[in-house]
Structure 1
């Protein structure tokens, strides 16, 4: 029987390995594989086939609405009239909102990702007898395994 489990890159995996060896699982039957971190930068702009779920136009749409109302209101007193000034206000509001969102995605969230320090996960494969399967699974979960799967 083989048990597959995933761990974060912490000291808990070392403690799990030590506990498994104390319980009689040989070191030759334990296989640890670290996953590689992503090398390329994440793309800010989405395409048709891939989206990360963040929208760059949400703040722009809200500011476009607000600025167009203010522009149309003030436009009654100005030379070009309320329609043109409403459209100008909408364009300015959208561009300001888009710039704010682009700044937060490129600068602020990039810093936050670097501070968090995303580390790769580790896959642990344990080859054991079926009678030891339940014990090994309990050991892995008690040492904070993110998930465990059994293959007979």
Structure 2
């Protein structure tokens, strides 16, 4: 491949459909809306999932449960993963660099699944009770972030 045989992708250079510009255009008279009916009328816009008057699927399905829009979500990290890293101090910046956090603004909770053998200082927003006990038993420190 070189500059002489580069081509635009298919349909990349198509013209915009101009409706209502005469019979010769192929989109004249009814302006590609067809004859009569709800969709041909001006101002017509049907909601997503409209089924021609039939009860829509999202209203036919049963609703259960409750979604708390104010819930606080934490990214969780187990002690077993921390032990594999072999670090002595873990900050949010370090965890982001290692790929455990997507952004520095994420909230982090450390869970106590696994064992620690070395002393590690961990900075996180929350610790489970078992995680805190295991970190301190190994001679490390659990630093709570505001």
TM bucket, shorter chain: under 0.3
The normalised TM-score by structure 1 is 0.18
The normalised TM-score by structure 2 is 0.19
RCO higher in structure (CA 8 A, sep ≥6)? 1
